[in-house]
Amino acid sequence: MIRAEKLTKTYGVQTVLNLDHLTIPKGQSFGLVGNNGAGKTTFFSLLLDLIQPTTGHVINNDIQVDASEEWKPFTSAFIDESFLIGYLTPEEYFYFIGELRGQPKTEVDLFLSEFSDFFHDEILGQKKYLRDLSKGNQKKVGIIAALIGSPEVIILDEPFANLDPTTQIRLKSIIRDLAEQKGVTVLVSSHDLIHVTEVCERIVVLNKGEIVNDIETSTETLKELEAFFGG
C-alpha cells in the first residue's frame, strides 16, 4: 500500500531523513518510534505531501503523492492541532470534514454516536470553539475526524499524548479494530513504547533519520525497545 524509495529530506547540510526503502502493506498497524529529531514527523509530512522530498518519492496505493492528489480521498491524518479550524465548534468541524468526504450530516451524526465513550460528554453539545478546548479534547476531535468517511490509510502522530488513561485505552481499541477488523492501514508514531507495542504489529525505529530496527511485534518487543533506548 505505501512505499518509500530513496527518500531523503535535507535542510542545508543536515539530512533529517534518509530512507533507502520502506514498504508498509495494506491493513498493517505500523508503529514509528524514535527520539526527538529522529525524523518521524518529517516522514509523515512527506507521506501527506506537506513538504517536498529532497530526493526519492512516496507511493500510496500506486500513486506518487507529490505528483498527484488522487491519494487524498482514501487517506486521512491527524498530526497536530494545526489540522483543526479553531473558530469552528466540534460539530461544525465534523460536518465540514464529512462534506469533504461525501458524508451527509445524518451519516456523520450516526458515526459520531459510536464514540460517546471516547468523548466523555466533553466534546459534543458544549457550544465551545475548538480553540477553547483543552489539548486533550482537541486531540480527540482531530483523531475521530480523521476516521470519517472510512479512509483506507490513517496517519496519527503522537495520538496518545495529552489523553487521559481511559481515553488512551479506548483509542488503543479503536486502532486495533481499524487494522484487524476493517483492513485499514494505520500508521502511528509515539514516544510511548508501551502503547505502540500494544497496538502495532510492526515497529520501525528511526535514529537520526535512518531505520535502525524493523521489528515484528512480539512479547519481547517492549524489552528490545527499552534496551535500545536505554542503552
pLDDT digits (tens, 9 = 90+) for 130-160: 999 999 999 999 999 999 999 999 999 999 9
- Cα dihedral 131, 76, 23, 54 sign: negative
Residue range of the domain that includes 55: 2-230
Question: Residue 159 and residue 205: Cα distance in Å, rounded?
Answer: 17
- pLDDT tens sequence across 99-123: 999 999 999 999 999 998 899 888 9
Q: In this predicted structure, what is the pLDDT of residue 231?
A: 66
| Total domains in the fold of the chain | 1
Question: Residue 99 and residue 126: Cα distance in Å, rounded?
Answer: 22
Q: 207 vs 2, 44, 114, 210, 213, CA distance in Å?
A: 21, 15, 38, 5, 9
Mean pLDDT of 174-200: 94
Write down the mean pLDDT value for the chain.
95
Which of 203, 222, 156, 219 lies closest to 184 in space, CA to CA?
156
> 215: Cβ–Cβ under 8 A, 6 or more apart, which residues?
202, 203, 204, 205, 221, 224, 225
Question: Residue 169 and residue 5: Cα distance in Å, rounded?
Answer: 35
Q: In this predicted structure, what is the pLDDT of residue 103?
A: 95
- pLDDT tens sequence across 69-101: 999 999 999 999 999 999 999 999 999 999 999
Assign residue 192 the CATH number of its domain.
3.40.50.300
